[in-house]
Structure 1
Amino acid sequence: MKEAAEREKARTARQILTVARVMDDVQAHPDGAVAGAMAVLVRDMRGKATYSNVEARQEVVLGQIMRRMAYGLNAYRSKAAGLVQNTAGMRNVIRELHGTSTNDAEAASFAKSWREASEFAADRYIGAGGDLVKRDDWRHPQVTDARRVRQIGREAWTEHLIQAAERGDLQVIDFDTGAPANGLKLATIIKTAGDNILSELPPPPGKGGSYGRHNERRVFQWQNADAFLAYNDKFGVGNDLFGLLVGHMQGMARDIALTEVLGPKHGATARLLHEMAIKAKAEGAKTFGALENPAAVARTYDVLAGRLGGELEGFWMGLLGGIRNMQIPARLGSAVVSAVPSDMVSLTWAAKANGIPAVKMMHTVLKQINPANEADRVFAMRMGIVSHAIMDRAIGTKRFADQIAGDGITARLGSLVIRAQGLSAWTQAGKTGHQLEFMGLVADNVGRAFGEVDAPLRKRLERYGFSAADWDVIRAAPLVEHEGAKFFDAANVSDRALGERLLEIMVEERAFAILEPDARVRQITTAGLPANTVMGQVARSLSLFKSFTLTMLTTHMARAFIDATPSKVAKYAAFTGLLTLAGAVSIQARQILTGKDPRDMTDPKFWLAAGLQGGGAGVFGDFLNSALDRGGKDFGAAAIGPVFSLALNDVPRLFSSSAAAFWEGEPATVGSQVARFVRQNTPGANLWYSRLVTDRAVMDTIQSLADPEYRQSFRRMEERARKDYGQRFWWRPGQAPDRAPDLGAALPW
């Protein structure tokens, strides 16, 4: 009790100091307390905050945790787009953690590094003021899945625990005595635990919340690995033991970042930020719509604190989540064709802004994506860059991870398609390449005094508040060498906070290289509502595929137009022009991949479509282009998103020939609409490298069977292409290809 009182006193003192520092930072922001409060939580889109934010800190901390087990993570992550994972090896890792020798050297090594990483994470959390007392008998997290308990049955779950306790495989702790329970007390404790699991009750007062959840005592203490694995197979995470371990580290990184930036009682600090923002807005402080206002402050904290998750329970939540999940593999099979050209522009642009040689950076990106260069990916992990093995837990990318609901079969289909097309690998390679080359740029400059540092890098450091004295500490740190090149390593900086602050800068600048939704964007796309509510699912369905545009708004557009100058606007105009060219490349590639000749690039409509595709709409540009090309008939469907478009547009067309005729502008049969529906909503059917073969060999066959007038339908498809774009098919519907694509059709002069 005395030790607990002393810890609480220390936490209170740290909380007071942290709140004072946060208030000073917020009030010092040049654009007022609303912008200042948001900048404590997430990257400052105004580009004026010189202090740390929770989101960047979380990624840096996660990298510092994961670098301690880089080899094991790379060895056990799933391969072949998530279809192959070493589950037997992961079971050996669990056995090694319980002290059982498996004669599996790789598993023993991973278990050792896991212990080291866990120790580091626990010490850092405690050092930040987190409420945690380390226990010698803690080995790994354990999870009970309420859905599995419901499916198998409460009685079976209870019987499993009682039998395990009677065999000595499980100790059920009686908190009143601190000793293992038995008899009636054992049954009572198990019943109470079951009630809490199935009702998913929050922790009791004084537990959990802002800073106490890691210190909660376990009711169930498994005495050996095999007993835990048997329970986990039935009522836990099953084969996803890798996800169990990685997920725990992600949770630790989140809580460390919240505690370090906002204090041990970070929920109270977040409420203070919200109140400061309300007061500042009432006094006329600058705001920026839904992206920056008092409500956005509260919602952004909820995103960062993990409060908007939750299991999908109930018919409507499961239905909306499942439909949304199915739209991702059905619509995004060729998303990488849009992503690569625009990402190459933004990567090059961001590199130039920071003084990084663009050609060198692209070379590093290609090395990261090369399957044969495993050593390069491990090196990036060892440098604290959150890379392939970490993202592997979600089996996808952050670009769409927040739009995938749950972890069932439909969610895995979405993740599988994102990975199978190469989008996940490309995104991670771009992020890693940019950060590695930034580390290389710092290494190239450590031999110079601050005033002699390359101008772009020096200006960037000054923008984030680095001084000449800070730079002297940075450049005194030993460098790391890899394949003849030298890199800055934050772990070698004598002042840990200063070294990690430089990593945070790299993470924040990377946002301009690879566009991904941050917490500011996610608080809009989720409407600040938990995923396990009907309205939360509605909000996520309405915003599906729209986050790219919001991300463009908070990065390049914000940098150009907030406190705009003619030079900044001119630079953004040049950047938009390059993105439009990237959109043109994407559109032409899509034409060829769907069996058509390239579009006529002398047509003004082509460049409008290219601007939408590359310049700000991203994947959503596909739907907007469709709406414009169809005379606006699909605009409403595009606006409400593919989930509600499916219910209000696609399904009614299946049963109404008049509705189909209106939307198509041509006569339509039920058979043709069935074929169209299958073509548009089959997961994986539009993978870019197999889409055309699937269309001709499978989908055209389905249409010929379902549609008695399929020949007329195919002719209408060809007529529409000629009428709308002057295009011809090089691989005509329902036929074998009779020629190669006519590339000259792009410039018919």
Structure 2
Amino acid sequence: MSIANCLTKLVAAKQITQKQADDALALHEGLQGRLYPTMGPTSAEAASALEAARVMAQAAQERKLMAAKQAIAYASAIDRMEKHPSGKTVGLQSMLVRDNLEGGAAMGTAIHIDGHSENVTKRLLGMMDGAMKPYASRLAGLRQDTESIWNVVRELFGEDTGDDAARSAAEGWKKTTEYAVARVKCAGKPLSVLEDWRLPQNWDSSRVKQFSEQQFVHDLMTEFEAGNLKVMDKQGQGEAPRAAVGGIIANAYKDITLGKANSGAGGFSNQLRVFRFQNPDAYIRLMQKYGIGDGGLYNTMMGHLGGMGREIATVEILGPNYEDNFRRLLDVAREDDAVRNKAIGAKLKRSLTMNSPAAVQRTYDAVTGKLGVAQSELIAGIGGGLRNLQTAARLGSATIAALPGDSFTASLAANHNGIPATAVLGRLVRDLANDKEAEAIARQVNLTAASIMDHALGSRRFADEVVGQGFTGRVADTTMRLTGINAWTEGLKRAWAMEFNGFIARQADRTFGDLDPAFGGFLKRYGFTPRQWDKLRATPQIEADGAKFFDVNGVEDQELADRLMSAILDERRFAVIEPDARIRGAMSAGLQRGTFMGEIARSATQFKSFPMTFMMTHMMRAAIQDGAWGKIAAGTKLVGLMTIAGAVTSQMQSLVAGRDPQDMSTPEFWTQAFIRGGGGGMLGDLVYSSSTRGGDGLKEYILGPAPGTIISATGDLSQALIGDGKMTGKMLAQHIKAWTPGSSLWFSKIATDRLLFDQIQAMIDPNYRQSFARYEQRMKKDFGQAFWWRPGDVAPDRGPRLP
């Protein structure tokens, strides 16, 4: 009896469904086609039938596991939502991102996808043990090994290149990806993993569009004819018939150019790969021409690990079919919200805290990466390019604000958890001087640097998203690295988390009731019980650099270890402020990248995520403290420290702009310091310090820097051409400066201003001396400041007068 007849009878007897029968028959026919060349028809029929039965049985077991894990995840999520003291909507939001109302103790857990993604990704990077580091860019992004990294591909295909670094990277990659696959399958996600899977395929639509469909088909057919490439038939689950190969390749061209080729699966995919490379040379040739290019392999591999980390975290928290579970959970949250928040005051509170059902949807789309998938590469490229240029032009002095601001927020976060702030800053200084040793220790305890892709992640704190891979993205990347903000940000994040880790190790000999009160508050805040603390403190510790550290990898209970790491990362977000998925979703208005309105929203909100994040962290924590005195005490400490940070920032910015420091004895100075030190004013002055005070600040703040600058330049040009005004040298210099990368670099800003932009104004504006004089008079009148390097002068005539 043929397998087709057998399957028909099983369907008639209702032992299997028609869908299962169709899948089995397709699998059988595909396998038979692959086995036929080496077997006779009868042997191939029997062998493929047995293999199809085995695969279908395995798939049935995986479906059972998936169903069980899906039901468990849904029940657990409902339980968390019902237990949250602020309602089901906040409970659901707390599974996506840090709970800014801190109700984790009531739920018994506080783990969420945003933090867990970083935790799992750090574990994957730690397993790589720095093997890919030789291929990361160096010298502020100006230099990168884009040649020998291809030896990693050859090693993964089994070639012995004699390159020890490439062999180590290939071994680390294989070990790490195998662990990631096993972990996500354990969480219930069914995967059909190829035994010879090696690397992700990243077909770049912009590259492919440079060539005709005929050229693309010709190149891939050439590789196919040479035996370098197999083309698979998704329907038949096997190799495509020779006659169908050309059509499949042509369809692939259409999918890639329409942006459908790399848009759905995150770090894992159940889809059968259409193209399977048989040797490294074919992969390298086609990826260099149609995919990642000469220098994109490192970014692709690291980005793939990041995608795996995010997918694992999402599956472990919301279940294998997380889209379905989230949709059902959001329906439950909406029903509860409609009953709980009828009053205007309640609706206002949920909106201000970003815990409405709409905010939950935006957060979900951000944390799962949906908002980052470009609907139109052209529109996304234009919008992203403009924002990249603004990042490169305006954030050159970001470090000036970050140094004092981060020092105080890190101290606040440390003291809140019982960690000596001086220990954090001391470790930062030591680690910056010996970065290699610090990174080696951090990898052992899953605290390796968070730079998943080789971009200016440090700029994400201010620019709202990671800069892109195009030319403008590389310009912004290099500029931000030159400022030192990346090294500072990653160093402080690592130092803070390492000291927290060491503090846990020092507390391990104490029972729950005898813990440092602040640290005990941390455990209670995140829902850890005395029994769970006993499990954690029994973990063997790591000794390194003359100190002991808690070894999260040594915890027997994986879920408990993940919860602890997620909690540590949550507290670190108070130390080094950067936007989470809640803020990223809000800043994009929940609109997808590459849409007209999505790019408008991102441009309008550029540079606004920092103050919003400050509000959702430190200001929110102060507001939710118990009792009026608790709120006043926390608020007073916050305002006091951040006002001092604002004062330091103000004086440092004056110096790099060529002005003497301000008189600190005046009420006006401390009012300004208060505004700059808060979430609303710090970044504003940081951004506008690269131009003049009091210019088009309000307009640019509302429209966003790129649209505001374009509209301002257009208005000035129109007025000069058809109106009564004229394009003065000052106006032209300011417009050029607003788009010049590196024009606000803190260490060269004053020289750039005086030797370049002031000279442009002097060449065009016949009244430049009066303009410079008016500017000096305004600074003297408004802020009591004189210039140590006067506008228009090619050299300073004195040094700064320090107060």
Instruction: Provide the TM-score with structure 1 as the length reference.
Output: 0.93
Deviation per CA, 1:155-209: give whole Å up to 9, x if none. Answer: 2211110111111111112345555446431111111222222223489xxxx97
Residue 387 (1) aligns with residue 387 (2): no
- Structure 2 partner of 1:720: 778
- Structure 2 partner of 1:246: 302
**CA shift for structure 1 position 264:** 0.6
Residue 488 (1) aligns with residue 550 (2): yes
Deviation per CA, 1:685-707: give whole Å up to 9, x if none. Answer: 11001111112222222222222
- CA contact 2:456–2:467 (8 Å) conserved in 1: no
Structure 2 CA distance, aligned partners of 1:655 and 1:626? 27
> Quick one: which of 167, 170, 178 aligns to 2:226?
167
- Structure 2 partner of 1:14: 69
> Quick one: which of 77, 80, 88 aligns to 1:25?
80
- List aligned pairs for 1:501-540, cutoff 5 A: 501-540=563-602
Residue 85 (1) aligns with residue 144 (2): yes
**CA shift for structure 1 position 673:** 1.2
**CA shift for structure 1 position 589:** 0.6
**CA shift for structure 1 position 564:** 5.1
- Structure 1 partner of 2:316: 260
Structure 1 CA distance, aligned partners of 2:498 and 2:797? 47
Instruction: Provide the TM-score with structure 2 as the length reference.
Output: 0.87
- List aligned pairs for 1:158-307, cutoff 5 A: 158-181=217-240, 183-201=242-260, 214-238=269-293, 239-285=295-341, 287-289=349-351, 291-307=354-370
- List aligned pairs for 1:290-369, cutoff 5 A: 291-311=354-374, 313=376, 317-369=380-432
**CA shift for structure 1 position 482:** 1.1
> Quick one: which of 478, 488, 493 aligns to 1:426?
488
Would the alpha carbon gap of residues 275 and 743 (structure 1) be closer, same or farther in structure 2, given more than 3 Å must change?
same
Would the alpha carbon gap of residues 246 and 659 (structure 1) be closer, same or farther in structure 2, given more than 3 Å must change?
farther
- Structure 2 partner of 1:148: 207
* Comparing 158-167 and 213-222, the one that deviates more: 213-222
> Quick one: which of 191, 200, 208 aligns to 1:132?
191
Would the alpha carbon gap of residues 220 and 617 (structure 1) be closer, same or farther in structure 2, given more than 3 Å must change?
same
- Structure 2 partner of 1:747: none
**CA shift for structure 1 position 466:** 1.2
> Quick one: which of 497, 505, 522 aligns to 1:460?
522
**CA shift for structure 1 position 675:** 1.4
- Structure 1 partner of 2:45: none
Structure 1 CA distance, aligned partners of 2:243 and 2:766? 71
- CA contact 1:277–1:293 (8 Å) conserved in 2: no
Structure 2 CA distance, aligned partners of 1:737 and 1:394? 34
* Comparing 408-417 and 620-629, the one that deviates more: 620-629
Root mean square deviation, CA, Å: 2.5
Residue 682 (1) aligns with residue 740 (2): yes
Would the alpha carbon gap of residues 632 and 717 (structure 1) be closer, same or farther in structure 2, given more than 3 Å must change?
closer
Q: Secondary structure at the match of 2:292?
A: coil
Structure 1 CA distance, aligned partners of 2:153 and 2:463? 27
- CA contact 1:480–1:489 (8 Å) conserved in 2: yes
**CA shift for structure 1 position 423:** 0.7
> Quick one: which of 664, 668, 676 aligns to 1:601?
664
Structure 1 CA distance, aligned partners of 2:692 and 2:135? 47
Structure 2 CA distance, aligned partners of 1:89 and 1:405? 25
**CA shift for structure 1 position 671:** 2.4
- CA contact 2:460–2:466 (8 Å) conserved in 1: no
Would the alpha carbon gap of residues 313 and 561 (structure 1) be closer, same or farther in structure 2, given more than 3 Å must change?
same
Structure 2 CA distance, aligned partners of 1:476 and 1:608? 51
- CA contact 1:394–1:415 (8 Å) conserved in 2: yes
- CA contact 2:395–2:686 (8 Å) conserved in 1: no
- Structure 1 partner of 2:58: 3
Identity of aligned residues (%): 38
Q: Secondary structure at the match of 2:424?
A: helix
Structure 2 CA distance, aligned partners of 1:294 and 1:76? 43
- List aligned pairs for 1:426-445, cutoff 5 A: 426-445=488-507
- CA contact 1:396–1:415 (8 Å) conserved in 2: no
Would the alpha carbon gap of residues 545 and 301 (structure 1) be closer, same or farther in structure 2, given more than 3 Å must change?
same
Structure 2 CA distance, aligned partners of 1:394 and 1:133? 35
> Quick one: which of 611, 634, 647 aligns to 2:710?
647
**CA shift for structure 1 position 332:** 0.4
- Structure 1 partner of 2:98: 43
* Comparing 312-321 and 486-495, the one that deviates more: 312-321
Structure 2 CA distance, aligned partners of 1:493 and 1:355? 23
* Comparing 636-645 and 498-507, the one that deviates more: 636-645
Q: Secondary structure at the match of 1:685?
A: coil
Would the alpha carbon gap of residues 609 and 594 (structure 1) be closer, same or farther in structure 2, given more than 3 Å must change?
same
- List aligned pairs for 1:71-82, cutoff 5 A: 71-82=130-141
Runs of 5+ in structure 2 lacking a partner?
1-55
**CA shift for structure 1 position 404:** 4.9
- CA contact 1:210–1:264 (8 Å) conserved in 2: no
- CA contact 2:379–2:594 (8 Å) conserved in 1: no
- CA contact 1:97–1:111 (8 Å) conserved in 2: yes
Structure 2 CA distance, aligned partners of 1:107 and 1:609? 54
User: 2:333 is aligned with what amino acid?
Assistant: A
Structure 1 CA distance, aligned partners of 2:122 and 2:694? 49
Q: Secondary structure at the match of 1:288?
A: helix
- CA contact 1:449–1:472 (8 Å) conserved in 2: yes
**CA shift for structure 1 position 525:** 0.1
